[in-house]
Amino acid sequence: MIEGLQRNYAYLFEDELLKEISEIGTYKEVPEGFILMDIGDYIKSMPLILSGAIKVMREDEKGDDLILYFVEQGDTCAMTITCCMGETKSEIRAVAETDTRIIMIPIQKMQEWMHKYKSWQSFILQSYHERMKELLEAVDTIAFLKMDERLYKYLRDKAMVNRDDLIKTTHQEIAQDLHTSRVVVSRLLKKLETENKIKLYRNSIKIINL
Amino acid sequence: MIEGLQRNYAYLFEDELLKEISEIGTYKEVPEGFILMDIGDYIKSMPLILSGAIKVMREDEKGDDLILYFVEQGDTCAMTITCCMGETKSEIRAVAETDTRIIMIPIQKMQEWMHKYKSWQSFILQSYHERMKELLEAVDTIAFLKMDERLYKYLRDKAMVNRDDLIKTTHQEIAQDLHTSRVVVSRLLKKLETENKIKLYRNSIKIINL
DNA sequence: GTAAGTATGTAACATTTGTTACTTGAAAAA
DNA sequence: TTTTTCAAGTAACAAATGTTACATACTTAC
């Protein structure tokens, strides 16, 4: 049994399914920054996350990015399901936020299990539900929050999935994730610092009271 | 057989399933503006749209709205599926954009059919996929377009689902759908008129070259 | 008809966000 | 050490959006 499979999925799947997963799925370790899936890719397998976190992004016509949400261990990427089922191209980019361990399930098994295991069907539908909710939260964030609030939320989310209140990043990288400019990020970070919500260092930011 | 069921769903479902739908589903006609589902509602049945169109909205903490997308005949509301399956509250509001005819499917049947009919399972998964794509398009619109572009897209979409290039609405209503102010809408509509993209009247707007 | 209510137009101004340009200081490379 | 590159701070300005206030014209109620 692959380490982490038991821990994250045992309460979801029956033993027989867990056994099939560990037999058929291919274990994979990817480093931070690794692009698991890109926009336009055809997906032939679906990832179950054992540990780590994945950043899900959308791209505009100019090729600029926007973060949608983070996905953590115990989850899968519902957009993958979508793509696998429909045999269509990926609409999003998935990038490893940290070093990440996953199990890849080939598309045929995925569909086979939909009929064979009730727990698998529930998991797939549940994943859709979760991702739908994440997407709606992303809409809320983008549509209803001002940039300083979005920035603060982003920092907190990032600290959360990295399990570290010291975030290692640059203003430039943040600007790319939030689809704004470096100058705007620097300005608002400075404001957050004067409000005692964060502390700024070179190449890193510390969240106060996470 | 209910009129419209055959026309919109015959190519999707096998005859036996169509028969079950027409026997078990309850036919309903709702007028424009009717709230089919509100935020926080528990959903006990799922609508199949026979004719008309539905506007799907999200709400901020202050109770102000934002349109996500329109859903047309031949579709269902995937958020409903989500809610039915998970027995959770609705995250969105669904309002009849036009007079609309629907068939309501009770939640138990919905789940029963998932196992009984392969075409139903495909339809549910396909609907999830469609709605996921719609949501992503909504994100694109909100995040990447400026207000004048969003406004023009909104008008075109609205004309489309109403099958009429003359849109009957007020600037105030548009402002509510786009989560902005009436003054901004008036200003940008005037700009679109000088660009010969629309023609303004009292209580209505005509789209040029739809 | 008159009055009241509603939709729209528009000016003036505030706030938020985006852009350009330049500076300073730290880290990395030579 | 010196040079170069990179990250960050900041000023000045531009553009987009939001807000307040008021005028005008059309519609409805009386």
Report whether pLDDT(B85) > 70: no
- Interatomic CA distance for residues A117 and A71, integer angstroms: 24
Query: What are the C-alpha distances in Å from B60 to residues B17, B92, B172, B191?
Result: 39, 11, 18, 28
Distance C11 C1' – A173 CA (angstroms) = 41
Which of B66, B91, B143 lies nearest to residue A179, judging by beta carbons?
B143
Report pLDDT for B29.
96
Lookup: tokens for A36: 């698991």
Q: Does residue B123 contact residue B11 with C-beta atoms inside 8 Å?
A: no
Query: What nucleotides of chain D have any atom within 7 angstroms of a protein Cβ?
Result: 6-12, 16-21, 26-27
Query: What nucleotides of chain C have any atom within 7 angstroms of a protein Cβ?
Result: 6-12, 16-21, 26-27
Sequence-ordered list of residues with C-beta below 8 angstroms from that of B143, at least 6 positions apart, any chain: A58, A60, A66, A142, A179
User: Rounded to the nearest 5°, which phi and psi values hold at A202?
Assistant: -75, 125
Distance D28 C1' – B4 CA (angstroms) = 40
> Tell me: the pLDDT tens digits for B171-189?
999 999 999 999 999 999 9
Whether the CB of A190 is less than 7 Å away from nucleic strand D comes out as yes
Report pLDDT for B189.
98
> Tell me: the pLDDT tens digits for B53-83?
999 999 999 999 999 999 998 777 777 777 6
What percentage of chain B carries pLDDT values higher than 70?
Answer: 97
Report pLDDT for B129.
84
Distance C29 C1' – A186 CA (angstroms) = 27
> Tell me: the pLDDT tens digits for A96-138?
999 999 999 998 898 889 889 989 988 988 888 888 889 999 9
Report all structural domains of chain A as residue ranges with CATH numbers, in order of start: 5-143 (2.60.120.10), 146-207 (1.10.10.10)
* Residue of B79, B125, B126, B147 to mutate when probing chain A, most A C-beta within 10 A: B125
> Tell me: the pLDDT tens digits for B160-172?
999 999 999 999 9
Whether the CB of A202 is less than 7 Å away from nucleic strand D comes out as yes
Question: Contacts of residue B91 in chain A, CB cutoff 8 Å?
Answer: 132-133, 136
For chain A, where are the E strands, in sequence order?
Answer: 26-30, 35-37, 45-51, 53-59, 65-72, 93-96, 100-106, 166-168, 198-201, 204-207
Of A82-91, A114-123, B85-94, B112-121, the poorest mean pLDDT is in A82-91
CB–CB contact B85 A179 (8 Å): no
Angle at the Cα of B155 (from B153 to B159), degrees rounded to 5?
A: 115
Which of A88, A91, A114 lies nearest to residue B136, judging by beta carbons?
A91
A vs B, Cβ pairs < 8 A, gives: 85
3-class DSSP state for residue A123?
A: helix
Whether the CB of A115 is less than 7 Å away from nucleic strand D comes out as no
At residue B121 the predicted structure's pLDDT band, cuts being 50, 70 and 90, is: confident
To the nearest whole Å, the CA of A129 is away from the closest chain B CA by 5
- Interatomic CA distance for residues A153 and A145, integer angstroms: 10
Question: Contacts of residue A132 in chain B, CB cutoff 8 Å?
Answer: 78-79, 82, 91, 128, 131-132, 135
At residue A74 the predicted structure's pLDDT band, cuts being 50, 70 and 90, is: confident
> Tell me: the pLDDT tens digits for B132-162?
889 999 999 999 999 999 999 999 999 999 9
Strands A166-168 and A204-207: antiparallel
Q: Does residue B49 contact residue B100 with C-beta atoms inside 8 Å?
A: yes
Whether the CB of B114 is less than 7 Å away from nucleic strand D comes out as no
For nucleic chain C, which protein residues have CB less than 7 Å from any of its atoms? A 146-148, 179-181, 183-184, 188, 202; B 170-172, 182-183, 186-187, 189-190, 200, 202-204
At residue B88 the predicted structure's pLDDT band, cuts being 50, 70 and 90, is: confident
Strands A26-30 and A100-106: antiparallel
To the nearest whole Å, the CA of B14 is away from the closest chain A CA by 18
> Tell me: the pLDDT tens digits for A164-202?
999 999 999 999 999 999 999 999 999 999 999 999 999
- The stretches of B145-170 forming alpha helices (DSSP H) are 147-162
Report pLDDT for A85.
67
Whole-prediction pTM? 0.94
Query: Looking at residue B13, what DSSP letter applies?
Result: S
Q: Which nucleotide is nearest to A202 (CA to C1')?
A: D7
CB–CB contact A129 B68 (8 Å): no
Lookup: tokens for B129: 């996929």
CB–CB contact A91 B58 (8 Å): no
Q: Does residue B49 contact residue B71 with C-beta atoms inside 8 Å?
A: yes
